[in-house]
Amino acid sequence: MRSKSCLVTGASSGIGFETALGLSRAGARVGIVGRSRERTEAAAARIRAAAGGPVDTFVADLSSQAETRRLADEVLALYPRLDLLVNNAGAIFDRRMVTVDGLERTWALDHLAYLQLTLALLDRLKASAPARIVNLSSAAHTRGRIALDDLNGERTFGGMKAYSQAKLGNLLFTYALGRRLEGSGVTVNAVHPGVVASGFAKNLNGPLGVAWGLMRPFLISTADGARTTLHVATAPELERISGRYFAKSRETTSSARSLDEAMQEQVWSVSLKQLSLTDAAAGGITPSLPPS
């Protein structure tokens, strides 16, 4: 990874921090994104002390479309090339919250931010090819259903339901983007990190929070949780592998719903609309519609 520039979102702690640390140890220049300037700077200092390489910090709340656009502009201004983007930031919430853009927060943070940031940086990734995009999904996607008529959770909302829907969205996006990137030199893959004892569920209270607390002693470490991401991000044999799903550092098959090409394209179109983007504006990539 020497001479390569990498960006990892949600990297002030947890899996994202361990991913950034692993990339830095491999010789990369790493940019880490967090919501808190203090925690992000502290994380960067720890990575520099452990790995000795250059670490850049970016601060943004990725549930906000304006902040995500600002982040992309800052990354493009600082990095003349970008070899790797790891969309890692995410959270689960046990009560419904709405973002500044009027969107349900889980969907906005865990799904739409992946799409918006990726498309904003896509031209730079293409210019740096061979380059890679890694999206953090979850085995929770197998429980997910895309409620196209209720993406804001106004009729029904549950924390795990919203999270599973967003993680399914990550896979649908990965597969739709993978088709569009064929021949570009940029790959995109999704990973399940495992069930990790990280802080991503710190917003949980009530029964879901209690259940998570009881499970925590049996969960894998954040370092182990970063292994699959690091494998997909760096393994030489995966340089041309795209549009796949990995768990335990091995390619695996995702749910039947995630493989539905018509749904992939529906979610792609709806997501662009929620971001006020068109295909023409989305990195210059055109629709790749499945056969009718």
Catalytic residue set: 163
Task: Give 190's Cβ-side CA count (13 Å radius).
Answer: 29
**Two tokens, residue 216:** 């925590």
Handedness of CA 198, 204, 208, 211 (dihedral sign): positive
Strand order across the 5-9 sheet? 55-59, 29-34, 5-9, 84-87, 131-136, 186-192, 245-247, 250-252
d(CA 220, CA 197): 6
Q: Report H helices in the chain.
A: 14-25, 37-51, 65-78, 105-107, 113-127, 159-180, 206-215, 222-225, 227-234, 261-274
CB 234 within 8 A of CB 228: no
Q: What is the largest CA-CA distance in the chain?
A: 55
End-to-end CA distance of the chain: 42
d(CA 93, CA 104): 10
Which H or E run contains 58?
Answer: strand 55-59
Residues 6+ apart with CB under 8 A from 232: 132, 134, 189, 191, 238, 246, 249
